Amino acid sequence: MTSTRLPLIRLFDFSRGTSLSARMTRVGLVMTLLFLAIALLAPVLQSWGWIQNPIETLSNPIHEPPSLRHWFGTTRQGYDVFSRTLFGSQAALQVVVLATVMSLAVGVPMGMVSGYLGGKLDRSLLFLMDTLYTLPGLILSVTLAFVVGRGILNAAIALSISYIPQYYRVVRNHTVSVKTELFIEAAQAMGASTWTVLSRYLFLNVIQSVPVLFTLNAADAILTLGGLGFLGLGLPEETPEWGADLKQALDALPTGVWWTAFFPGLTMTGMVVGLSLLGEGLNEFVNPLLRRENWNRKA
């Protein structure tokens, strides 16, 4: 009994697809790995004394411009912008990973069970997920942030609720399509349990688009977290977070103090662009229709 599942290793086979897609994926992967390294190394660099404590005020707090002493300058409160920018990537990484993993852990099994069993359960879950999906993600996250409060875990929960319907819809639609295949019917005829069919025969066939959705949701989560921080609903005060730092920098912009907003904003933009390029590049590798269209266009 064989299945038509696609090995996950093919997602990283850059010889497939167009050269543009391969370049997009490589650039996105390099940018994403760079920001991951920054997030993971920030505490190490601080322990070595190479960067300042991001929540420690300096003796000269009044908007010092970028210099050899403070590469990205300082804020009005006396924080080192370079240190807060680096540690902001760590906070973003923690929230984004938690939010996307939680939404994936809930949405994927729910979509598989709903699509495979069908009936009233499928209709009820489909109605609930479609209702959540129609709500703008930022507004839903802001509303939930009001309820659960500040903090890394709370911010991740607020973000994950808006992503669960996306995983559910993608996986549920794939499950409905795959469950009519001959290898699924053969497994059922041989007496395979529902758990066996879901875990052994359906799972790897319906998660082909999940890595793409994961990276794109991660990019969106960074922007949404920045929005929550800008509104004062993200992480606790003084915690290095790009959105909150951008809010603090607004008052200084008319006076020519550009560095307090420029560097956090540039870093957040770079991380979003890297994840978006990686997601779009992966999308062409896992989507045969996109590959065929690009091959025809190239020909």
Say yes or no to pLDDT of 12 above 60.
Answer: no
Give first-to-last CA distance, the chain, whole Å. Answer: 37
The dihedral sign for the CA sequence 184, 189, 195, 199: negative
Give the bridge partners for 74, in sequence order.
Answer: 80
**Residues 52, 273, 160: CA angle, nearest 5 degrees:** 85
Q: Is residue 142 part of a domain?
A: yes
- Least confident span in 18-22, 101-105, 199-203, 258-262: 18-22
The CATH number covering residue 282 comes to 1.10.3720.10
Residue 57 lies in a domain: yes
Task: Print the domain residue range for 137.
Answer: 18-291
Instruction: Flag whether 74 is in a domain.
Output: yes
Number of domains in the chain: 1
Per-residue pLDDT at 5 exceeds 70: no
In a domain, 269, yes or no: yes
Whole-angstrom distance, CA of residue 182 vs CA of residue 4:
10
Summary mean pLDDT of the chain: 84
Q: Is the residue at 134 inside a domain?
A: yes
Query: Mean of the pLDDT values across residues 44-50?
Result: 88
- Within 8 A by CB and 6+ apart from 141, the residues are 158, 159, 161, 162, 224, 227, 228
Query: Under a CB-based contact definition with an 8 Å cutoff, are residues 108 and 207 in contact?
Result: yes
Q: What average pLDDT does the segment 24-45 reach? A: 90
Element (H, E) at 113: helix 81-117
194 in a structural domain = yes
SS3 80: strand
Counted residue by residue, the chain has a size of 299
Q: Is the model's pLDDT at 168 over the cut of 90?
A: yes
Contact criterion met (CB below 8 Å) for 259 and 246: no
Question: pLDDT band for position 85 (50/70/90)?
Answer: very high
In-domain check, residue 13: no
Structural tokens at position 1: 């009994």
7 lies in a domain? no
Q: Where does the pLDDT of residue 222 fall: very low under 50, low under 70, confident under 90, or very high at 90 and above?
A: very high
Task: Please identify which residue in the block is written with the tokens 């370049």.
Answer: 23
